[in-house]
Structure 1
């Protein structure tokens, strides 16, 4: 199973939090990352997004169908995110568009099985794979890409 954690691109400040939109820079970040993802991500992938406007706009940059899950809203727990994905041994590959600090904590747990505060830059992805080799479960960091690196 592969899980790709994509932090929403740069958003404007303001309230209410769920209504914050992407800045022009954020729109560019989302478009760059979406183009990269389309070239690299598996064809058979479920896409899940937070209901926040900025994550909806980031997800829309892909031009693909996605499912909005209220449980991925800002402030959700890393465990809820990982459960929604079916991590670590789900049948589907999953792309989740969400928020800090939840994404960083989920990445840390997926990689180390410990809750830690890892930072995910705006617009960046962490692509983590989990597989079985014989009796051994293996976790692999496939990619960590920021929009500035594309």
Structure 2
């Protein structure tokens, strides 16, 4: 079984152009919270070190950098995981990847919701709602429509101490 983690970037400030929007201080905090949580899971052996990929948009790159820093790994940019890209194209890309380490994608709504719905349900007519910095973990034998199983859905508010 292969594993895939799909993450929405942290909260971003409004602005134009869309691809240049930056994380807010809250967005940075969300990204850091999730990055620490992932690093703890890797350290405990609950998750293998993922290969990390991010959208080229600034807010996704900032979120991926927080993950890179916490995990001690680099990340690559994928130009086809921006907000309105097609889940089927990403599924095709996933099929070309070698088995092994989990893959982690940092992207945007509506793509993260549509991709999750596409892989789990086989359709993205409804999509899945993603709070900022939320991460879903999926597993599958093959990354095709309707073939994945949702393992977990975690958001920063679940991890906040207090």
Matched residue count: 145
Q: TM-score, normalised by structure 1?
A: 0.87
Q: TM-score, normalised by structure 2?
A: 0.81
Residue deviations 1:32-53, cap 9 Å, x none? 0011112225334211100000
SS of 2:109's equivalent in the other structure is coil
Aligned to 1:24: 25
Contact 2:120–2:147, Cα closer than 8 Å, also in 1: no
What's the offset of the Cα at 1:83?
Answer: 2.6
SS of 1:86's equivalent in the other structure is helix
* Structure-1 separation of matches of 2:153 and 2:66: 19
SS of 1:71's equivalent in the other structure is coil
Q: State how 1:1-150 maps to structure 2 within 5 Å.
A: 1-41=2-42, 42-62=47-67, 63=69, 64-86=73-95, 91-92=99-100, 93-116=102-125, 117-131=127-141, 139-150=148-159
Residue deviations 1:64-109, cap 9 Å, x none? 211101111222111222233338x951421000011111011111
SS of 2:103's equivalent in the other structure is strand
Unaligned ranges ≥5, structure 1 = none
| CA RMSD after TM alignment | 2.1
